[in-house]
Amino acid sequence: MKPSSALHLRINKSRNLSTKADAIVARKHTNDKNKQLEAAINWCKKFNGRGQAALKTGLFPLIKDRETINRRLDGKVINRKERDYCTILTDDEEASIVRFIKNKNRCLQAINKQDITKLIINVLRVRDYTNTKMKGGRKFQKLSLNARAALEKGKLSRSFWLRFNAKHSSLTIKRQGSVSINRALNCSREMACNHLDSLAKELVDVGIMINEKMIETGVWNGSVDTCRIFNCDETPQFINYGIDGTTSGLFYAGKGDACQRMYRENRECVTIQPFVSFSGDICMCQVIFKCTGITSSMVPTEAVNKIPHLLVTTTDNGVSTHESFLAALKEFDVYLNEKNVKRPIVLLSDGHSSRLDFDVLSFLESKRIHLFLTPPDTTGVTQLLDQVNKNIHSEYRKQKDSMFSDICSLNKEAFMLVLANIWDKWTTKETLVKSAKRVGVAENALSVDFMQKDKFERAENCIEREKQTSPLISSPDKRRGSANYWKSKFEQAMELIDELHEKSIQLEEIPGFMTTKKIKPKLTKDATSVTQVHGSMTASDVITLVESI
């Protein structure tokens, strides 16, 4: 070995040692600086200051430049193109995810950071499985070290989100705005006016509205006896005795797009069907369970004492049927006789199939109950109970959290206990009267001006434009073609389907992609079976029958 070569070897070795030591010191210095930078950011947010004010305090000696703090406060990040060995997603995958986020928000189903994380992990899982299946080739895209780490840990680093937010300025993080009820999207002002005109004529015919005077379409003056107007509606959002819906918090949306959400309703669940009057009284409550027979656990004593005219029903899917609605009307008739309500009365309801039954209509006619069905897809605007249903969910959630821990799975008895404790809290007489006015009904008038005008605006935006026929006329050959032409087209299509099927990936074969959560049902105490078939019974009758057994 030449002397010069040995000298260079010793110099390089000393440099490596020095570099390693310097790296440790520099890394520690960087960590300390980052901690002070985070502290400076928190100080600025707390005292509503900027970088210059934070540096003047002298609390952050490692931060030398005020712009470092200001850039972090403003969310400005210098985002250069990542190295290929550092990227988690490919350009096509990232563009598809950004497009998916925007489209989900436009469908009123915005997703948050947790949902996007699951989506990205699934994308990586599919790519990893595809690479394993192909074992090379033009479409082979190896996972980077960062992508492999994210796939194994099941989460994304903070630096990824910092670069992702800075790279895609077309995305922004927002809080979801007002709730859009999809069943009311089709209610225009014209439909609401026609509804109120029809309702006014019905009230005049039965003598509930006197001294009437039509001012204009949808506006009537007169004296209205609201004690003889009632409303019944299902509240089918209690799923597994909890509340269904989207998690609150911050969601990703396209810049300039509104961030709203819809209620997700599952009709195959436990259903509560209250009956209320437009004068502010709660008449009765029907609880419909998805099971076969009625048991004593469905009617605890506390629920019987706190919920007057409680009716328990069991059906196939936990929703109203002809038989269950007829049973509810019979109990409602008992309430009317008990309160000496003057007949005839008007009962507003939606056009559910359970209402359109001969036995139901015959009973209504015999009891002088006029069933007034609201127009389809407008119940969020025209029904009283749709204005206060969210109060039931809110009070139920509060009471459930105060009575039971989050890890508890509630049985039917626990659900009824929660319902019993909120029954005198979820609404008041004044709230029901105000809700009646929001659907256009007051003691001295019926007016479309009382209704929610924002619902009409959304309906007008949803009106589809008329399709215009194209002025171009296609030739007869293009319209029909010969038999051999269509036969060859069919054969080509079948070949393409077979080729795509061979290249396709079965999602259920990807490890961890499609997981099913199996929840072990909670064992309940022994309950006395009262009936073995679908049907309805008042709570007091169930208690009496159980005691006799």
Q: Residue 498's beta-bridge partner residues? A: none
Find all residues with CB under 8 Å of 383, minimum gap 6, and list them.
231, 233, 348, 349, 350, 374, 439
Cα 439 to Cα 383: distance, rounded to the nearest angstrom: 6
Instruction: Tell me if 174 sits within 8 A of 368, measured CB to CB.
Output: no
User: Mind listing the pLDDT tens digit for each residue in 47-65?
Assistant: 888 988 999 898 888 888 8
Q: What is the pLDDT of residue 243?
A: 45
Tell me: the pLDDT tens digits for 405-418? 765 667 888 888 98
**Residue 252: which pLDDT band, with cuts at 50, 70 and 90?**
confident
> What would the pLDDT profile of 265-277 be if each residue is shown by its tens digit?
333 457 899 999 9
Q: Of the ranges 204-213, 453-462, 535-544, which is most confident?
A: 204-213
Closest CA to 400 of 411, 389, 390: 411
Angle at 398 between CA 324 and CA 312, to 5 degrees: 15
Cβ contact 203:346 at 8 Å: yes
Tell me what the mean pLDDT of segment 471-490 comes to: 58
Provide the pLDDT confidence category of residue 431 given band limits of 50, 70 and 90: very high
pLDDT for position 140: 72
Q: Which residue has the higher pLDDT, 375 or 249?
A: 375
pLDDT at 69 over 80: yes
Mean of pLDDT values over 325-337: 95
Interval 455-473 mean pLDDT: 54
* Cis peptide bond prior to 344, omega within 30° of 0: yes
- Is-contact 161 113, C-beta < 8 A? yes
